[in-house]
Structures are given as structure tokens and as C-alpha cells.
Amino acid sequence: MKLPIRVSEESREPIYHQIETQVKSLILSGQLSPGTALPSIRALSLDLACSVITTRRAYQNLENDGFIKTVQGKGTFVREIGIIRKEETKHKAVYDAL
């Protein structure tokens, strides 16, 4: 699957951070529902023309923040985020965006 993510040449943010924020907002907005399989680290790197080191870092951070989980040998999936947590993060995402 292909994610509607773009890394911007103009942005001051590091690439891994751009990926992280965009995946988060896709999950929070419900465009990526729980259980959805994410592209492999290699496939996403190819898609964005960035290095696996960068995508791996983004996925690791997303996993630490509880947005996704990696199942050994199966792939990476969107996690079920508690409703309260979702609201919280939504507020924070809006706050960050502003």
C-alpha cells in the first residue's frame, strides 16, 4: 500500500519528523484505521527517496508513542488507540500545527 505522505524540500523539519507527524495525523484523522498494514520500511524509503535509516527512526518513534506496532515476520500495523488518548493527541496535534 502507498501512504499519502510527502517530504517537503522546503520544510525545516528533519525528514524522520515529517514522516512521523504525517503518519500520526493519518491515524488520528481515521484515514488509517486500526489494524491497517503500513508499507515496509524499505518500501516507504523507496517511495519517499529517503534512506531506511530515516524511515526506521520514524517507525521506531511511532512505535514508542504507541501508534503502530511491528509484528515480527508479519509487518507493521496501526494500533488501536484509546479514545481518550486519541482526543488528547488530537488536541496536541492541533496545538502543534498552530
Partner 1 sequence: MNISVLEIKGLTKHFKRFTLGPLDLQIEKGTAMGLVGANGSGKSTLLRLLMNILQPDGGTIEFLGQRTKENETEFKERVGYAGELLEPFGHVTIKELSSMVSYWYPKWDNHRYEHFLKRYNIDEGAKYGKCSKGTKKKVEFIFSICHDPQLLLLDEPSVGVDISSQRIIKEDLMSFMENGEKSIIMATHAIDEIKSICDIITVLHEGRIIYSVNKDEIYENWARIWVSEVREQIARHPNVLSITGSPLQLVTNNLRAVEEELRKEQISITHIQRLAVEEVLEHYIETNSA
Kindly state the number of chain residues that form the binding site for partner 1, as judged by CB under 8 A.
17
Contact 62, 54 (CB under 8 A): no
Query: Site map for partner 1, 9-38, x if CB under 8 A?
Result: x----xxx----------------------
CA-angle at 64, arms to 86 and 50, nearest 5°: 105
Stretch that binds partner 1, among 23-31, 39-47, 61-69, 85-93 (CB under 8 A): 39-47
Extract the runs of DSSP E, i.e. beta strands, from 12-91.
37-38, 68-71, 75-78
Q: Name the residues that contact partner 1, by CB under 8 A.
A: 9, 14-16, 40-43, 45-46, 49-54, 56
